[in-house]
Amino acid sequence: MSRILITGGAGYIGSHTALTLLGVGYDVVIVDNFSNSSPKAVDALSALALKETGKQFAFYEGDVCDGAFLRTVFEADKIEAIIHFAGLKAVGESVAIPAKYYDNNLRSTLTLLNTMKEFGVTGFVFSSSATVYSDPGVTKYDEATTRVGRASSPYGTTKVMQEWILEDTALSGEIPLKVISLRYFNPVGAHSSGEIGESPQGIPNNLTPFITQVAVGKREFLSVFGDDYPTPDGTCIRDYIHVTDLAEAHYLAVKRLLEVDDLPMFDAINIGSGNGYSVFEVISAFDRAVGKKIPYKVVARRGGDLAEFTAKTEKAKKLFGFTTKLTIDDMAKDAWNWQNKHPNGFDD
Ligand code: NAD
Ligand code: WQD
Of the listed ligands, the closest to the CA of 17 is 1
Catalytic site positions = 155
> Taking residues 251-267, what's their average pLDDT?
97
CA-wise closest residue to 42 among 65, 72, 66, 8: 8
Atom of ligand 1 nearest to the CA of 63: 19
pLDDT of residue 77: 86
pLDDT digits (tens, 9 = 90+) for 169-228: 999 998 899 999 999 999 999 999 999 999 999 999 999 999 999 999 999 999 999 999
pLDDT of residue 205: 93
pLDDT of residue 1: 81
Site to probe by mutation for ligand 1, drawn from 32, 159, 161 as the one with most ligand atoms within 8 Å of Cβ, is 32
pLDDT of residue 151: 92
pTM, two decimals, is: 0.98
Q: Which residues line ligand 1 (CB under 6 A)?
A: 7-8, 10-14, 31-37, 63-65, 85-89, 104, 108, 127, 129, 184, 187
CA 168 to chain centre: 23
pLDDT digits (tens, 9 = 90+) for 131-159: 999 988 899 999 999 999 999 999 999 99
| 78 pLDDT tier (thresholds 50, 70, 90) | very high
* Under 8 Å between Cβ of 18 and 30: yes
pLDDT digits (tens, 9 = 90+) for 98-135: 999 999 999 999 999 999 999 999 999 999 999 999 98
| C-alpha separations of 196 from 45, 65, 130, 209, 327 in Å | 7, 26, 24, 13, 19
> Taking residues 257-273, what's their average pLDDT?
97
Site to probe by mutation for ligand 2, drawn from 207, 214, 301 as the one with most ligand atoms within 8 Å of Cβ, is 207
CA distance 49 to 198: 17
- In the DSSP assignment, the letter for residue 174 is S
pLDDT at 262 over 90: yes
Radius of gyration (Cα) for the chain, nearest Å? 19
CA angle 225, 85, 336 (to 5 degrees): 45
Q: Is the CB of 236 under 6 A from ligand 2?
A: yes
Distance of CA 101 from the midpoint of ligand 1 (Å): 12
pLDDT of residue 182: 99
Of the listed ligands, the closest to the CA of 34 is 1
pLDDT of residue 348: 75
Atom of ligand 2 nearest to the CA of 129: 23
Give me the sign of the Cα torsion angle 88, 91, 96, 98.
positive
The percentage of residues in the chain with a pLDDT greater than 90, rounded to a whole number, is 96
pLDDT digits (tens, 9 = 90+) for 331-341: 999 999 999 99
> Taking residues 299-322, what's their average pLDDT?
97
Q: Phi, psi (5° rounding) for residue 343?
A: -55, -30
